[in-house]
Structure 1
Amino acid sequence: MIKAVYLFAMLSFALVSCQTEKNVKKYPATVGDIEFDKTLDDADFKRCGSKQWGHFSFQYYQGAKEFSYKGEKIAITEKLKKENIYSEKKINGYITVRFLVNCEGKTGLFRLQHMSPDLKDTVLGEELENKILKFTKSLDGWMPKEIKGLQVDYYQYLTYKIENGKVSEVLP
């Protein structure tokens, strides 16, 4: 009887251990990591970093705080004014484009989030979203970052404020 209880306990422990490991692996290494998606992402975009670290990318709260674009945010704002991105629909809200800048200053892994003026998930219009995504992808002044002597990948985001169908402001 004791052997049966011992065997049951060992098997239960092994089963729980296997389940725990599966759950841990389904979560990204860092909250908010963007996983490659062959339907959305450019296969030629390469992450940098040590394979030993598992292609670790820095978040804004991990030392990648400065806005690293040639000409700063004002250069993006001026380029946006020239593009005159708008929608025929008089929609309001926010579109955030989040992406990765690699150690060469190249961008990839773009993701969009849409929000109403009261910051609730919403759809603002595919045409406007596509224009904003195309504009964001065209920005080629992102500068590589170095943290503690290492060239690193880092996440960046731009939030576009939409008023009456027109981009009125770029945040942050």
Structure 2
Amino acid sequence: MKLKIPILIILIIPVLFSCQIEKKLSEYPANIGDIEFDPATDNKDFNFCFGKYIFQYFNYTNEPENYNGEKIEIDKIFFTQYQNQDIPNETGLVRIRFVVNCKGETDRFRMMGMDENYRSKKFNSKITSQLIAITKGLNGWKPKKIKEHDVDYYQYLIFRIENGNLIEIMP
């Protein structure tokens, strides 16, 4: 009889802890990296084709062929429209991430800057306002299908900036 009680306790403890873990996990978003709607910046009329599920970059190849004219066209647009600023110490990377729906429309633009050591950096608005405006103006994003279904997907562009000058666009 004495042996049965410790065994029973050992069997019950994992059940109690698993309930607490399940509760904690439900507090997080469905996918890490999802861009939630922000009424201050996002278009309330932007339509998704696959409900709230948006394919992450790792669900497909994030290749420049997602854009009409591919990376050559993206480079041409940015290097024609961006006005270099020649601002000392404004060096690093700026990433703009956004959603493309199944019609090729874009919204939910989010920007992040980092210095040469990959630490968070806020760039001068003379740089970031141009980058976001040009990115929002890109209207050649191609709709994407995965397994014959129209899908919404995340897209991003990364800009290498040196002293306020646009040097490179990735990917």
Residue identity matched to 1:27 = Y
Q: Does 1:141 align with 2:140?
A: yes
Shift in Å, 1:161: 0.5
Corresponding residue for residue 61 of structure 1: 58
Q: CA offsets per residue over residues 65-95 of structure 1, 9 Å max, x none?
A: 3330000011010011211333352211111
Distance 1:66 1:81, change over 3 A: closer
Q: Give the whole-Å Cα distance in 2 for the aligned partners of 1:23 and 1:122.
A: 32
Q: CA offsets per residue over residues 84-132 of structure 1, 9 Å max, x none?
A: 3333522111110000100110001110000001211111112311111
Corresponding residue for residue 30 of structure 2: 29
Shift in Å, 1:166: 1.0
Q: Does the CA-based 8 Å contact 2:48-2:152 persist in structure 1?
A: yes
Query: Which residue, out of 66, 87, 90, partners 1:89?
Result: 87
| TM-score normalised to structure 1 length | 0.82
Moved more, 125-134 or 105-114: 125-134
| TM-score normalised to structure 2 length | 0.82
- Structure 2, gaps ≥5 residues long: 1-11
Distance 1:129 1:165, change over 3 A: same
Residue identity matched to 2:62 = K
Q: Give the whole-Å Cα distance in 2 for the aligned partners of 1:106 and 1:86.
A: 28
SS of residue paired to 1:58: coil
Shift in Å, 1:60: 1.6
Q: Give the whole-Å Cα distance in 2 for the aligned partners of 1:22 and 1:71.
A: 47
SS of residue paired to 1:57: coil
- Structure 1, gaps ≥5 residues long: 1-8
Equivalent pairs, count:
159
> Among the aligned pairs, what percent are the same residue?
38
In the TM superposition, 1:3-18 aligns within 5 A as 17=19
